[in-house]
A = this chain, B = another copy of it.
Amino acid sequence: MEQLGTVTIIGVGLIGGSIGMALRSERLAARVVGVGRNAEALRQAVDRGLIDEATTVPEEGVRSAEVVLVCTPVDRIPGDVCRAAAAAPGDALIMDAGSTKRKIVEAVEADPSGRDSFVGAHPIAGSERSGAANARAGLLRGRACVLTPTGRTPADLVRRARAFWANLGARVVEMSPGDHDEVLAYTSHLPHAVAAALALSVPAPWQSLAAGALRDGTRVAAADTDLWTAIFRDNRGPLLKALGSFQDRVAALKYAVMTDDADAIRDWWEQARKLRTLLEERQSPPGGMD
């Protein structure tokens, strides 16, 4: 595999920092430049080896970039991508790492400088512990990364994007931005909403009598408020559909319990148990990573 020249990461948090760390430790790029708003945080990211150098001025950071990765919250991504596209070399590949895709891709494609250099990307990895302090080089290894090229995306950019994520150890999947958002509403945004609703339902004084079910079921509710507010707003339609499906399942159990229908409760649980068992098998391929 050929080494990349300069890779510029805009937003050196959990995802951006982990990608920087992986690019450096595996020598996939000659130079990794970090762009952020907080100079002190950037200095620490350099000290910790997440990036080689840093700047608070995006135009400076992307000036000689071969690849630019925008790893900011979803509501800032379109602006950050277009600003980078306007200042980066004409042949730079610009990608994001946002949890939603349709609105981002639409906004970038409406911009003349964004359109010809952008491939939407979503590496499906993360943690309720955000921030560069939790970055680790192996975060993406074995994970799926969804690319969302459109009819307008130059084929050569898609090839370069695919190679970039594959070199980081991710399993690359291509989907339309709309399909991505519908699937992720169910596989990620709904589980986050459910975890938070569960955390809200248990009176605080009773928490001391909770066991693993409540702890695991609410883990991701510890995630950043602004980040998730932006994701929920950005993916409203699909999220509402997913919430509706979920509400139907809860209502079905409630009715079965209310009518003390043993067979209905058993069938409901058994179907859930089978789906959960399938999920466990899919998430743990033989010899695969966590």
Binding site for B on A (CB under 8 A): 124-127, 143-144, 146, 173, 183-184, 186-188, 190-204, 206-223, 225-226, 228-229, 232-233, 236, 239-240, 242-247, 249-251, 253-254, 257-258, 260, 262, 265-266, 268-273, 275-280, 282-283
B273 pairs with A126, CB closer than 8 A: no
A240 pairs with B212, CB closer than 8 A: no
Whole-angstrom distance from the CB of A27 to the nearest CB of chain B?
A: 27
For A229, list chain B residues within 8 Å (CB).
Answer: 262, 265-266, 269
B257 pairs with A243, CB closer than 8 A: yes
Q: A226 touches which one: B146, B220, B266 (CB < 8 A)?
A: B266
How many copies the complex holds: the figure is 2
Whole-angstrom distance from the CB of A70 to the nearest CB of chain B?
A: 20
CA distance A34 to B124 in the complex (A): 47
For A243, list chain B residues within 8 Å (CB).
Answer: 250, 253-254, 257
A192 pairs with B220, CB closer than 8 A: no
A270 pairs with B215, CB closer than 8 A: no
Evaluate whether A144 and B220 lie within 8 angstroms (CB atoms) in the complex, with A199-B276, A240-B254 already known: no
CA distance A206 to B220 in the complex (A): 20
CA distance A214 to B211 in the complex (A): 19
A222 pairs with B280, CB closer than 8 A: yes
Closest to A280 in B: B222
CA distance A281 to B1 in the complex (A): 46
Closest to A250 in B: B197
Closest to A235 in B: B257
B239 pairs with A200, CB closer than 8 A: no
CA distance A216 to B204 in the complex (A): 21
